[in-house]
Amino acid sequence: MISIHSVTSDEYPDQTNNPINSHENQPDKPEEACGVFGIYAPGENVAKLTYFGLYALQHRGQESAGIATFEGTQVHLHKDMGLVSQVFNESILDQLPGSLAVGHTRYSTTGSSRKVNAQPAVLETRLGSLALAHNGNLVNTVQLRQELLEKKCNLITTTDSEMIAFAIAEAINAGADWLEGSIQAFHRCQGAFSLVIGTPNGVMGVRDTNGIRPLVIGTLAGNPVRYVLASETCGLDIIGAEYLRDVEPGELVWITESGLASYHWSQKPQRKLCIFEMIYFARPDSVMHNESLYSYRMRLGHQLAKESFVDADIVFGVPDSGIPAAIGFSQASGVAYAEGLIKNRYVGRTFIQPTQTMRESGIRMKLNPLKDVLAGKRVIIVDDSIVRGTTSRKLVKTLREAGAVEVHMRISSPPVTHPCFYGIDTDSQDQLIAATKSVAEIAKQLEVDSLAYLSWEGMLEATREDTNSFCSACFTGDYPVAIPEQVKRSKLSLEKVVV
């Protein structure tokens, strides 16, 4: 039985046609897909713990949020458009009782930004309800959707996440148990998927065979120990859970009253974590490879200074993601670190279109220059990436208007030349500035005095891990999971770029 507390109408229109979301007004960054969270903790307020877990993962998606709790065989579900703090309040959370929960915060990749596509996706099966939260993107959605439609599955959304849920339900309804049915479904899925799945019996955490998107396991102190799943360790920290380990590529962990059990559903896992998770997406206080990502991003800045030093008066980062690399650049180069830009941290998504004058003034709704810091200075501005170049050009103009006499831009990653098919919302290849222009041409378009990117080798070496264990397809075009031609043609429009 499913108890649904959210309204059924789409309160927000499809944002793809909203003028505020045109290419000119979108952030000049790749956008992440989602954050997922799961918890098995009988006796605890699992809805409230999930709320705070999602709150910590808000950076991974700001379009919709949802929580499903299991109270025996009954599922309680609430999901809606908006930020986590907008979708939930104390009263709503009080209506989500249970011993386990699954949560999700979403940025749309497959499937537009509409309430019907909000997660968790909840379905009924022979063994009871399942609630699925997904981070990533399948590349065989066309084939899988056709197979499910031929089996008369009643698909009600346009997301690949729902297709995974239906594939599991189909196997279970054919006689499989929760584990067997889930594993059968995963073998039908190609691409990137980190999943948290709630059932009446327990919670599953799953990663695809390459582990492209992250998923970690934490523990809550008590007797017995309770377990938590989250996209990043910051989702554990906020509720006082201790990081235990990552869910491994090709692994399924099954958390029940008996504790945690592990199943390796893929026979040939090959780790290919998205390198952009480390450069930009994940929060700097999240831990990967036994250190905070803040430390890795500082090393990127060290390497950037070694590769592309330029004499200047001050160096600063684009808030917030460029700051650790800018500090690293300062430490390695001796150029003084300062704050040149102040970010308005209370600006969220707005559905109100700015006036023409505001649009022409650039990006000051989110970033404002410190004129007395910049006036008369030769400045180095460090950012983590450039995708389209639109925001970067406005930013350079803003710095010059604030009095900077030289503007040198340094990027703590290589040029983004290829689109992502694994859960990052990037344009088609011809919209990526580095796919169509040389570094010198980009520098001219941005109107900077100099521009330099970090080398591909430097980016990977700074991880201090096996450099073959990362997906860097957005820089090289070498995709670890084969992309079907029909999907490839939708985004890949140019020659392969060699790094």
Q: How far apart are CA 307 and CA 114, in angstroms?
A: 44
Is 234 an active-site residue? no
Q: Is 234 annotated as a binding residue?
A: no
To which residue do tokens 């934490």 refer?
218
Q: Which one-letter DSSP state was computed for residue 425? A: B
Token pair of 226, please? 């309770």
Q: Are 304 and 335 in contact (CB under 8 A)?
A: no
DSSP H/E element including 331: helix 323-333
- As beta bridge partners, residue 175 has none
What CA–CA distance (Å, rounded) separates 131 from 3? 12
Least Cα distance to 63 among 15, 106, 30 occurs for 106
Query: How many CB atoms are closer than 10 A to CB 283?
Result: 22
Distance CA 90, CA 327 (A): 40
153 annotated to bind ligand: no
Q: Are 188 and 176 in contact (CB under 8 A)?
A: no
- Asked whether residue 471 is marked as a ligand-binding residue, the answer is yes
Encode 217-277 in three state secondary structure.
Answer: EEEECCCCCEEEEECCCHHHHCCCCEEEEECCCCEEEEEECCEEEEEECCCCCCCCEEHHH
* Matching residue, tokens 């490879």: 289
Please tell me which residue in 34, 153, 189, 234 is annotated as part of the active site. 34
262 and 251 in contact (C-beta within 8 Å)? yes
* 474 in a labelled binding site: yes
The reply, when asked if residue 189 is annotated as ligand binding, is no
Binding residues for Mg(2+): 321, 383-384
Binding residues for [4Fe-4S] cluster: 274, 420, 471, 474
Binding residues: 274, 321, 383-384, 420, 471, 474
Tell me the catalytic residues. 34
